Amino acid sequence: MVKYKGKTVYNGIAIGPAAVLKKEDRKVRREKIQDPGQEMDRVREAVKKAREQLQQLYDRALASAGEASAAIFEVHQMMLEDEDYLEAIENMIKKERVNAEYAAAVTGDNFARMFADMDDEYMKARSADVKDISNRLIQCLTGGEGESFDFKEPCILVADDLSPSETVQMDKDKILAFVTVHGSANSHTAILARMMNIPALVGVPADLNGIRPGSRVIVDGMRGEVIFDPDEAECRLAQERLEKEEEKLRLLQELKGKENITRSGKKIRVYANIGGPGDVGYALENDAEGIGLFRSEFLYLGRNDFPSEEEQFQAYRQVLQTMGEKKVIVRTLDIGADKQADYFNLGKEENPALGYRAIRICLKQPDIFKTQLRALLRASICGNLSIMYPMITSAAEVKKIFEILEEAKKELEEARLDCRVPEQGIMIETPAAVMIADELAQLVDFFSIGTNDLTQYTLAIDRQNEKLDDFYDPHHPAVLRMIRMAAESAHKYGKWAGICGELGADLDLTEEFVKMGIDELSVSPSMILPLRKRIRELA
């Protein structure tokens, strides 16, 4: 039995078998082989296995995100069976007498480079697909679980680190909890875990080589503790805590259908944060009054090319229709920093959090932005949509956004496609936006305060840097004063102000937020009912 402490990301308890994800294991070695025929049999077997995995991914994506999103896995299946690609692997095995993994890796690199060097933008973007396919093939050859996250049984995932794009690919029903050696509690991977109600710990100094796949693990988010190979007594105690936790959750269910209202009659809207259509179920199950933050960039992650206008339209429509008359606030693309997708070709930056990200990409590459805006304007007629823009620092940015939106609307009207310009707001997540909130409030319909980035930029602390987690203090008076300033500016011009950063779910601050006159709190679905309980207790 080994116990470790870590940083809690989500407060639940889980008991289950370990699945170990070791990324360094995927480095491929060159080995001499005797029998090329046998090596080719291995390739054929791996292709078959990869094809089955892709079919499963296709089926799952079809069910959760629709035909357009699933199509990429169909394309991968076709590329996997490309004759030139397989012939190149075979030639290398035969001529150089090397192992299949090495031949697949080198061929994959060569093909990816060939695509990357092409002039056509579409073909260039296929380079990432080729890499993805080769990685899958290598993974099937080595027999590892790899990044497919295709676990047969629900398990506790133990890894060095997980990126947001890996996390979005996980089948939420198969992950009981996750534990990572690295990672900050403020990262988007952590936010995803909270959104998915998955108990999670980061910064756990475990040695992955010492963990037997399938061995029992207890993850206790409440205590910030993980136990590998627990004895019977520990298991019994954890089981008791789990049952108590379930009982608490059952009691919270009684709050369903009740209002978010203080004892003195002040109402606050409590909305949910989601990452895609697949999360709407959690929001509704937890009685969300609306969606306060749909992080649309997650539609762009875990894939190899930009989602088309049609794909995005379908995703937004699905969420809007499922939510009915309830408000859905879609935040436009906030890619960059820790949320990376290869096909954006963003390049390496010294300071990515201060770099080319979010609205800056959208304003510099308006074609990408316009595709999203067109999809949103079209989807707007399907429900109660609001659009929100991230990382705003100036009034000029907002004015430029409105110009691009106007162009998108004109294009749609010329194409005779139904559309509507909905309510539009901005995120207040930079100190600059707070300082000019008076001016910004006159341009937009609402503010949503992003306390995660506002804390990062106010305190000059990289939210991704795990070494700085002790210094990252969203309760800092500077941050709280900024929230108050932003809310006051919004109200001065008759606009509403909400909080969609993680601080909105901090029950120790609920009273203060109510006193500030915050109109809406948007939190991960699992925090809706605890927040309702807290609001109803307030005088």
Residue 334 has φ and ψ, to the nearest 5°, of -120, 60
Q: Quote the DSSP letter at residue 204.
A: -
Q: Which is nearer to ligand PEP, 309 or 429 (CB)?
A: 429
Q: Which is nearer to ligand PEP, 203 or 450 (CB)?
A: 450
Nearest to 493 by CA among 431, 446, 451, 430: 446
- Whether residue 404 contacts residue 412, with contact meaning beta carbons closer than 8 Å, is answered with no
Smallest distance from Mg ion to CB 416, Å: 36
Q: Which is nearer to Mg ion, 6 or 474 (CB)?
A: 474
Q: Is 182 a catalytic residue?
A: no
Q: Does 525 bind ligand PEP (CB under 6 A)?
A: no
Q: Is 188 a catalytic residue?
A: yes
DSSP run (H or E) holding 363: helix 359-364
Cross-strand pairs, 291: 272, 328
Nearest to 243 by CA among 13, 422, 496: 13
Strands 13-21 and 216-220, bridge-based pairing: antiparallel
Amino acid of residue 349: E
Smallest distance from Mg ion to CB 164, Å: 13
Among the listed residues 6, 146, 221, 450, the single contact to ligand PEP using CB under 6 A: 450
Q: Does 276 bind ligand PEP (CB under 6 A)?
A: no
If contact means CB under 5 to 8 A according to the sort of partner, which of Mg ion, ligand PEP, none does residue 501 touch?
ligand PEP
Nearest to 423 by CA among 393, 390, 389, 453: 389
Amino acid of residue 97: R
Q: Which is nearer to Mg ion, 305 or 473 (CB)?
A: 473
Number of residues that bind ligand PEP (CB under 6 A): 11
- Which range, of 245-253, 257-265, 404-412, 444-452, touches ligand PEP by CB under 6 A? 444-452
- Which range, of 24-32, 92-100, 123-131, 450-458, touches ligand PEP by CB under 6 A? 450-458
Query: Which residues contribute to the annotated binding site for Mg(2+)?
Result: 429, 453
Q: Which is nearer to ligand PEP, 203 or 501 (CB)?
A: 501
Tell me, rounded to whole angstroms, the distance of Cα 378 from its chain centroid.
24
Smallest distance from ligand PEP to CB 350, Å: 20
Q: Does 429 bind ligand PEP (CB under 6 A)?
A: yes
- Whether residue 414 contacts residue 452, with contact meaning beta carbons closer than 8 Å, is answered with no
Smallest distance from ligand PEP to CB 516, Å: 17
Which residue has the closest beta carbon to Mg ion? 453
Among the listed residues 13, 14, 376, 500, the single contact to ligand PEP using CB under 6 A: 500
Q: Which is nearer to ligand PEP, 318 or 452 (CB)?
A: 452
If contact means CB under 5 to 8 A according to the sort of partner, which of ligand PEP, Mg ion, none does residue 500 touch?
ligand PEP
Q: Does 451 bind ligand PEP (CB under 6 A)?
A: yes
Q: Please report, as residue ranges, which positions from 315 to 344 form the binding site for ligand PEP (by CB under 6 A).
A: 334
Strands 384-389 and 269-274, bridge-based pairing: unpaired
Q: Does 302 bind Mg ion (CB under 5 A)?
A: no
Q: Which is nearer to ligand PEP, 7 or 216 (CB)?
A: 7
Smallest distance from ligand PEP to CB 363, Å: 18
Write the DSSP assignment of 478-495 as a string of letters.
HHHHHHHHHHHHHHHTT-
Whole-angstrom Cα Rg for the chain: 24
Strands lying side by side in the sheet with 216-220: 2-5, 225-228, 216-220, 13-21, 155-159, 175-180, 200-202, 7-10
Query: Which residues contribute to the annotated binding site?
Result: 295, 331, 429, 452-453, 463
Nearest to 137 by CA among 191, 99, 184, 182: 99
439 token code pair? 């001016």
- Whether residue 132 contacts residue 305, with contact meaning beta carbons closer than 8 Å, is answered with no
Q: Does 453 bind ligand PEP (CB under 6 A)?
A: yes
Amino acid of residue 87: E
Spatial distance between the Cα atoms of 68 and 306, rounded to a whole number of angstroms:
12
- Which range, of 155-163, 220-228, 427-435, 469-477, touches Mg ion by CB under 5 A? 427-435
Q: Does 484 bind ligand PEP (CB under 6 A)?
A: no
Q: Which is nearer to ligand PEP, 157 or 333 (CB)?
A: 333
Q: Does 225 bind ligand PEP (CB under 6 A)?
A: no
Cross-strand pairs, 3: 227
If contact means CB under 5 to 8 A according to the sort of partner, which of ligand PEP, Mg ion, none does residue 260 touch?
none
Among the listed residues 295, 327, 374, 532, the single contact to ligand PEP using CB under 6 A: 295
If contact means CB under 5 to 8 A according to the sort of partner, which of Mg ion, ligand PEP, none does residue 451 touch?
ligand PEP
Q: Does 453 bind Mg ion (CB under 5 A)?
A: yes
Q: Which of 188, 362, 382, 419 is catalytic?
A: 188
59 token code pair? 């089926």
Q: Does 452 bind ligand PEP (CB under 6 A)?
A: yes
Q: Does 429 bind Mg ion (CB under 5 A)?
A: yes
Spatial distance between the Cα atoms of 333 and 335, rounded to a whole number of angstroms:
6
Helix axes 100-116, 36-65, angle to 10 degrees: 60
Q: Does 127 bind ligand PEP (CB under 6 A)?
A: no
DSSP run (H or E) holding 280: helix 280-285
Q: Does 302 bind ligand PEP (CB under 6 A)?
A: no
Q: Quote the DSSP letter at residue 182.
A: S
Intra-chain end-to-end CA distance of the chain, in Å: 47
Q: Does 501 bind ligand PEP (CB under 6 A)?
A: yes
Q: Which is nearer to Mg ion, 147 or 429 (CB)?
A: 429
- Whether residue 196 contacts residue 476, with contact meaning beta carbons closer than 8 Å, is answered with no
115 token code pair? 């695509």
Amino acid of residue 426: I
Smallest distance from Mg ion to CB 367, Å: 23
Interface positions with Mg ion (CB under 5 A): 429, 450, 453
Q: Which residues are catalytic?
A: 188, 500
Residues that bind ligand PEP (CB under 6 A): 191, 293, 295, 334, 429, 450-453, 500-501
